[in-house]
Structure 1
Amino acid sequence: MKKLYREFSPFFGVLLLSALMACNGRGKRPETVSAIDLKRGRMILCGPPDKQLGTVGFKTSCSGKAQEDFNLAIALLHSFEYDEAEKVFAKVIDEAPECAMAYWGVAMCNYHPLWNPSTPAELEKGAKAAAIAMSLEKKSQRESAYIAAIASFYNAWDRTDHATRSRRFEKAMEKIYTAYPGDKEAAIFYALALNGAADPVDTAFTRQRKAGRILTALYPNEPYHPGIVHYIIHSYDYPELAALALPAARAYASVAPSSAHAQHMPSHIFIRLGLWDEAIQSNLAATAAAKCYAESAGIKGHWDEELHGMDYLVYACLQKGENRQAKAQCRYLETISEVYPENFKVAYAFAAIPARYLLENRLWKEAAALKVYPPHFPWQAYPWQRSIIHFTRLLGLVNTGNINAAKAELKTLVRLHDTLVKQNDPYKAGQVQIQVKTAEAWILFKEGRDSEALALMSAAADMEDHTPKHPVTPGEVLPARELLGDMLLQMNKPTEALHAYEASLQQRPNRFNGLYGAGLAAERRHDPGKARRYYQQLASMASGADRPELKAASSFLKRHFP
């Protein structure tokens, strides 16, 4: 059977599975289950020994122990513990092979709406599982609708892009949500589908707001449901909306303490709101849980969730001026060469973590010499992430006076941008375009062409302001509007610089360099009251840190406000 699937197209494979299953009879283990290559084995979690994952009640035609295990699998699925959820769905299949919704669950485990799109192998597995689910007779009309919805995502997966398939799933889940108004799981999975189909350039956050409204209406009566609190965070993971998710963020880790992702996810909101201490604690717990999971699961190397948490941890540490802890994470990253799985967020962490440390601390010489690490990683598959390394080098070269070398890095950035355009990925192409404009602006500035530099830097900042943050990142390696403030300060335009810093802080509250820049600009425009406010806020936020900016702020406060 495995050989047959390699020889035929995925679409034909789904039809073949459906035909075979239709002849298989009722209540028997489907002969085609072995073709799915289900993940199996003991469930691995790092957290409380009683496996606390929240409270879920998803009624199905499965009965007895199978229903209990099904709910456990759903709880894991809602916290994006995909591998462990699939193991439990496989157990349900062993217990009740006629349970169509268990195969639906496997298909859902291979649908990754908010991270890296599913791989071809995952898409093929999901399509096969959905086909078996569709072929089984013992299912209700409601269950058939759920199965048809996920099948619509996998239909013609080899010929249809991820965004199109995500919109199909959204529309199918909307029909279930409308047809079964009392089904809270339909509402929750519809909210997830809305977030998965959200347009990355929609600054009105149309789908995200709708998802948030659905979930927040459910939350008071279901405070321990992992999907509700989790997806509220994803729905509002944007500067303009983040405050709406703070109650859910502060609850999620205690709702599902056995999930490594549940430990990390609240930090998305903490970082949006500049709550650095909470973000640090969240990611210390998350990275520890991720290490534990990798060891327990026998992963060769490190689990991708660990690197994702490290990126957020370093970002938060840098905003408190905690260079020692941030540097320790950078050194630790240099010891990591193998990660499972190699994916989008791993590439981002490898590029962003060292870049953040160097750029936030204005270590221009070291930034100019930043190396690609690890060298054997498939960087060609990740042009946006690779661009972060070249952007960091360029800023380092510009600020150390090596303009010719900076122009060579600019050519690389342009090439990476063009690659993303050819790949029809407008969001990531836009991200690199912001870097290109910023790079061109700083080269022009160092060449003495101030008016042209300001025009380009302002355009980059405007573009970034109208580009929503990607869910994988805690924030840009350096915000464009903050860099505009830096440029204006160097041009001796403190009033305009102050406006730029303040505008950046509106979107990114409590950033270390934003606060220091605003205080310095206020000081230079002879506004001691406003300078005092920003410097005191900085000193309070980063008390005990050892950075030269803090010493300068302290000196000003002692001179003017003894």
Structure 2
Amino acid sequence: MNDSERAGLVSGGLSDGGQKPVKVNKLRGIICWGVFAVILVFLIIMTSVFTEPKSYKAATPVTYLTGEDVVLYNGLGPIKVLVPTTNKLNALANYQLGLQLLQLFWYDLAIQKFQTAQSMDKRLAMAYVGEALAYKQPLWQTEDVAAAQAVLARMDANIPDNYMAALSGRERAYINAVRALYANGTSLQARETTYSTLMQAVANEYQDDPDACAFAALSLLGQLNSVGGYLTPEQAQQVRYNADELLGDCTFYFPNHAGLLHYQVYLYDVDNLEEAAKGVTPGIALGKTAPVSSRAQHMRSHIYMRLGNWSQVVDSNTAAVAASDNYCTAVKGSNTCDADNRWHALEWQMYGQTQMCGVTAATTAYKRMQAVAASQNYTGDYGQWLYRMYAHLQLQSLNSVAAVGLKAASDNATAMLPPPLYMTAAIQNAGDIQDHFWPPHAEAHALLARIYSLVAGRTLTQINSAAANATIAAAQARIDAIVARQNDLTAAAANGTLAVAAAGSAANAEMTALLTTVQLQARALVAAYSCVGGDSSKCGVWRPLMDQALALHNNFSSSSTLPSLKIAPTPEFYGNLLVATLPVASDPFEQATTASRMFSVCLQQLPGRMQCVLGSARAAKALGNTDMAKSWYSQLAAQCRAGDARFPALVEAKANTAPSPPPPKKSSGKGLRRALASSASA
């Protein structure tokens, strides 16, 4: 080996004095590394876009979902794929799943999917739009403007201006509409109406987009339900007509779109029974279209409840609870999994069971809610669900299950009182009107139910026992405190010192009236049963109290059938007290007549309400109208045929509808003639 060759080895390769072979080797290296780099970049791009590169040509978005997400995507109704600007099918898949969830009010999970889509493609503008929309719940009268504005700010930070400008016209139209919905420095009315106008324009321009149509329709329904209460009756009628037209047109072209069917059911969830009946078809279709959605299974019960079809109310909500259970089991979720849908449906299921005299089944549902609320330390909505279900079971069972425990078996002790739910530190001065609407409503009715358990059907000695008397007084005092707090809030809303005054004064006034009726009913309840027990000093007290409650009820009450609101409706409550005090009435005919009228009003507002059917039968019987009484008892026996055979109301109904025993057979007269003949011959 010569010196030149040795020098080449030391320098890393053969060398012949720096001639051409060295250049060739360098060129080959560059080419090789270049090819390798191209292949590497290609693989990186493929990996980021496709999770299964070998089958990407035949792929659809659902290909890039796994586990229970696949079940959801395939079970929430067909989706029309209008691809937003993205080259990543995994991001697109999560965006579309979020969209399906959003249309069915599965808000918490929808937000998760939209955020997952953003993490996979931070420039996917529609994923930010979807998440922002999830912070507005128009039909629940709630919103989180700050959270939505943060999403839009994040979108602006992640998407360059030039990329934003290159989005499709449809995407930019969605973005403009959502920016208007959460605009600063404008009123709730301006935000909601401007958004609605813009979204209707999107639906009109892009008629191949069923989601745009669904969002536009939802925006109109949102105006009808807004806490702003800014529509006149004439405007509300026009908005409702527009929503009807829009949904009718869109469901004609997209008959299986879950969102459109969902909002049609809401559209027909109205007092007019002829209109309400139109909701049966979309309600059934929604359940079939989105079988894995608890909300989709639940919604038809809104219509069936208005029609008094209790078996369907129970069946649809049983299916709704099961849908949530199936999903939460699959994802190993806790009691917080799909909570808004699952426990809402359980409350409705239990209510339907009470209307069918199914007290045992209703108690089982209640005990499940009791365990769920305990797992969450009775906080937030869990406490409200439990308190409302407690009140329903106690009142609708007519005390047939005695005093059900609110938290544990030991709660059955006479001194048990529902622990405070309202006016805790968390919501004493909350700005959200809903915090001053639902918690006091739930607690006040639980207190009313507790008083009922201590006086209904009890002797005067039992009512006036030291323990019972102290508990009744404490419960009444607590109701008084809740009403006083509501009066303060109403005054603050009226004079503008409450942060929610602009949007919530009307809601505060309604809740104050509702809670005041509970206060009056609690006092009347104790007086009426004390009167029945023999305390004549109370006999003239209770009816004036109920007259005041009825006047309030007539001023604010609509015939809304929502179980969460209709726990102790005043016409039913008044009628029951009139019937209970008939034995000591100074004018039984007048009292029975008034009771009959109360139950008639109740059934106009709440068709098939068990206690009002029973009360109508009792009032007719007291008036001597045997045929009418038998007709009402027959209706009760029919709707309760699957209920508990030993439930007192059902036992009473069956006893009053049993066929009369046949009259004794007429004598042929032979025996009499023989007796006379024998007497004559003697």
Common fold: TM-score over 0.5: yes
Find the partner of 2:513 among 422, 426, 433. 433
User: Deviation of residue 342 (structure 1)?
Assistant: 6.6
Conserved 8 A contact 1:114-1:195: yes
Note the C-alpha offset of 1:89.
3.4
Aligned to 1:256: 290
Choose the corresponding residue for 1:466, options 558, 561, 572.
Answer: 558
Matched, 1:372 2:419: yes
Displacement of 1:301: 3.5
Q: 1:149 to 1:340 in 2, by over 3 A?
A: farther
Matched, 1:511 2:609: yes
Residues 1:126 and 1:269: Cα distance change in structure 2 (over 3 Å) = farther
Q: Would you say the 8 A contact 1:47–1:289 is kept in 2?
A: no
- The answer to whether residue 477 in structure 2 is matched with residue 408 in structure 1 is yes
Change (3 A) 1:73 1:440: closer
Aligned equivalents of 1:294, 1:341: Cα separation in 2: 20
Structure 2 partner of 1:34: none
SS in 2 for 1:557: coil
Aligned equivalent of 1:233:
265
Q: Give, in angstroms, the shift of residue 215 of structure 1.
A: 1.4
Asked if the contact 1:435/1:460 (under 8 Å) is kept, the reply is no
For the 8 Å contact 1:226–1:252, the answer to whether it is kept is yes
Cα distance change of structure 1 residues 246 and 431 upon mapping to structure 2, 3 Å threshold: farther
Equivalent position of 1:271 in the other structure:
305
Task: Identify the match of residue 154 of structure 1 among 168, 178, 182.
Answer: 182
2:173 counterpart letter in structure 1: A
Under a length normalisation based on structure 2, what TM-score does the superposition of the two structures give? 0.67
Q: Cα distance, 1:417 vs. partner?
A: 2.2
- Range with bigger deviation, 377-386 or 79-88: 377-386
Q: State the alpha-carbon separation in 1 of the partners of residues 516 and 322 from structure 2.
A: 37
Deviation by residue 1:231-269 (Cα, 9 ceiling, x = unmatched)? 112223333343221111111111011222222222222
Residue 314 of structure 1: CA displacement?
Answer: 0.6
Aligned residues: 518
Matched residue, 1:141? 169
Distance 1:274 1:531, change over 3 A: same
> Hey, what's the Cα distance between the residues in 2 that align with 1:374 and 1:296?
33
Contact 1:482 1:514 in 2 (8 A): yes
Where does residue 390 of structure 1 map in the other structure? 447
Query: Aligned-residue CA RMSD in angstroms?
Result: 3.7
Tell me by how many angstroms 1:450 deviates: 5.1
| Alpha-carbon spacing, 1:525–1:409, altered in 2? closer, same or farther (3 Å) | farther
Structure 1 CA distance for aligned equivalents of residues 289 and 377 of structure 2: 27
Report the Cα distance in structure 2 between the residues aligned to 1:203 and 1:332, rounded to whole angstroms.
Answer: 43
Please name the residue that 1:99 is paired with.
124
Q: Which residue of 2 aligns with 1:547?
A: 647
Alignment correspondent of 1:280: 314
Query: Where does structure 1 lack aligned partners over 5 or more consecutive residues?
Result: 1-28, 30-40
SS for the counterpart of 1:334 is: helix
Q: In 2 relative to 1, CA 478–121 (structure 1 residues): closer, same or farther, beyond 3 Å?
A: same
CA 1:96–1:413: 2 relative to 1, 3 Å: closer
Task: Pick the aligned partner of 1:497 from 595, 602, 614.
Answer: 595
Which residue is 1:482 aligned to? 572
Give the counterpart letter for 2:270 in structure 1.
Y
Matched, 1:312 2:392: no
How far residue 321 of structure 1 moved from its aligned partner, in angstroms, is 0.6
TM-score of the aligned structures, taking structure 1 as reference length:
0.80
Q: Please tell me whether the aligned partners of residues 209 and 236 of structure 1 are also in contact (alpha carbons under 8 angstroms).
A: no
Match of 2:619 in 1: 521
For 1:341 and 1:215, locate their aligned partners in 2 and report how far apart those are by CA, in whole Å.
40
Displacement of 1:144 in angstroms is: 1.7
Q: Distance in 2 between matches of 1:286 and 1:46?
A: 18
* Structure 1 residues 334 and 154, CA gap change in structure 2 (3 angstroms): same
Q: Which residue of 2 aligns with 1:62?
A: 85
- Tell me by how many angstroms 1:320 deviates: 0.5
Relative to structure 1, the CA distance from residue 86 to residue 379 in structure 2 (aligned partners, 3 Å threshold; closer, same or farther) is: closer
Shift of residue 324, structure 1, vs aligned partner: 0.7
Unaligned runs of 5+ residues in structure 2 are 1-47, 49-63, 405-413, 429-434, 464-468, 493-499, 529-537, 583-587, 663-682
**SS at the partner of 2:269?**
coil
Q: Aligned match of 2:384 in 341, 348, 351?
A: 348
CA distance in 1 between partners of 2:114 and 2:475 (Å): 53
In the aligned structure 1, how far is the partner of 2:660 from the partner of 2:592?
A: 19
Is the CA contact (8 Å cut-off) linking 1:485 and 1:517 kept in structure 2? yes
Say if 1:56 and 1:74, in contact at 8 Å, map to a contact too: no
When structure 1 is superposed on structure 2, of 89-98 and 410-419 the one drifting more is: 89-98
Q: Sequence identity, in percent?
A: 23
Structure 2 distance, partners of 1:43, 1:315, is 37
Aligned to 2:394: 358
Residue in structure 2 matching 1:293, options 316, 323, 327: 327
